[in-house]
Amino acid sequence: MTLKAHYTWVTLPCCCCGSTSYKLLGYRGGAAHRNRIGIKTDIVRCSFCGHIYPRPMPVPDDIDMLYSDTEDYFSRNNPDKKIQVCDLLVDRLEKHLGYVGRLLDIGSGRGEMLYAAKKRGWDCCGVETCKEFADQSRSTYGVEVKNSPLENCHFPNNHFDAVILNVVIEHLHYPQKILSEINRISKDGTLLWIETSNEASLYHLIGNLYYRIIGKNWVTQLSPTFSPYHVQGFTKNSIKTLLSKTGFHIEYLRLYPGKAILPYSGFKEFVEYLGVTIVRSASKIFDMGRIVKVEARKVKAISI
Ligand SMILES: [Zn+2]
């Protein structure tokens, strides 16, 4: 289902280091997409920290327009499997924190993470700007969810023991503001878990090279105006830069190859699936996987 959103195009500096120096990588969306979806957008790389972002940035006038089709958005995710994965993550946080405390899940979606944490005794709360997702998670799992942007929730200072940004930060137009707010509502030593895409992966390198070979100035990074609406392209260096600037110290950072989810019902699809599988294996060898997982701790309060 395609929803028509209206965008305001804003020229922003790099959200990680603040630099306005950049190099144009290529174009994404519209005439620069093989299925012609979205709007053609310039994708650039920060000259200082390597962060990849659209310039100008398409900021939707109504963010809920992008994510209101809840069935479609999570159509590839099985809730029961997701609860199992969430349970493993909560278990990990418990071990590293040493106790069960107060947990915040930002962009809590259908609420599986909150359900997994609640079952283990956490005092947990979700923040979800999409009303449908918030309503669905409350009715399905009986969890507490605030249907509001984080900055409007007015949580107390030094409140949470663990904060989760699970495949969320790449969707944020102003991630530095969110991380500053997370810093304020976190205690000293609070654990912050982030999972996001690595836009400097081998997959992207090969994809962009392929476009150059066939004579196109397109890139494979981000999806600013079409699903899944990724607007921030983190790399190992750029996420480190952003977290350091917002008062967090990284204790764990690792790249993972990610899932190969292409269908392989026909010959062309099978060849594509094979190609993706080979790239996944190679990305392990070269440490250039598509997913980055980060565990960080709040080490200092910052002024907002
Ligand atoms: Zn930068």
Q: Is the pLDDT of residue 125 over 90?
A: yes
Going from the Cα of 237 to the center of ligand 1, the distance in angstroms, rounded, reads 9
Q: Ligand 1 mean position to 20 CA, how many Å?
A: 8
Cα-to-centroid distance, 46 and ligand 1 (Å):
5
Q: Tell how far the Cα of 300 is from the centroid of ligand 1, in angstroms.
A: 22
CATH number of the domain where residue 238 is located: 3.40.50.150
Q: How confident is the model at residue 1 (pLDDT cuts 50, 70, 90)?
A: very low
pLDDT of residue 303: 74
Residue 304 falls within a domain, yes or no?
no
Between the alpha carbon of residue 296 and those of residues 40, 41, 93, 97, 127, the distances in Å are 35, 32, 11, 11, 20
Of 63, 65, 145, 141, whose CA–CA distance to 104 is shortest? 145
- Distance in Å, CA 14 to ligand 1 centroid: 5
- Cα of 15 vs centre of ligand 1, distance in Å, is 7
Residue 2 lies in a domain: no
**pLDDT tens digits for range 249-288:** 999 999 998 776 555 567 777 777 777 788 778 878 888 8
- Domain assignment present for 36: yes
CA 287 – ligand 1 centroid, Å: 22
Distance CA 229, CA 150 (A): 19
Range(s) of the domain holding residue 51? 7-298
Domain total of the chain: 1
- Position 263 scores a pLDDT of 57
The residues facing 292 across adjacent strands are 196, 255
**pLDDT, tens digit, for every residue of 147-169?**
999 999 999 999 999 999 999 99
In this prediction, residues 51-72 reach a mean pLDDT of 82
Residue 26, in any domain of the structure = yes
Give the distance (Å) from ligand 1 centre to CA of residue 62. 27
DSSP 32: B
Confirm whether 207 is domain-assigned: yes
Tokens representing 51 are 């962060």
Tokens found for residue 302: 């910052």
**pTM, entire model:** 0.90
CA 225 / ligand 1 centre spacing (Å): 22
Count of alpha carbons within 13 angstroms of residue 190, beta-carbon side: 26
| Cα radius of gyration rounded to whole Å, the chain | 19
Cα-to-centroid distance, 16 and ligand 1 (Å): 5
CA of 104 to the centre of ligand 1 (A): 28
Q: Is residue 303 part of a domain?
A: no
Cis omega (within 30 of 0) on the bond before 149? no
Whether residue 154 lies inside any domain: the answer is: yes
Separation of CA 151 and ligand 1 centre (Å): 24
- 1 in a structural domain: no
Nearest-angstrom CA–CA distance, 76 and 174: 27
Q: Any alpha helices (H) in 41-102, and if so which ranges?
A: 64-67, 70-73, 79-97
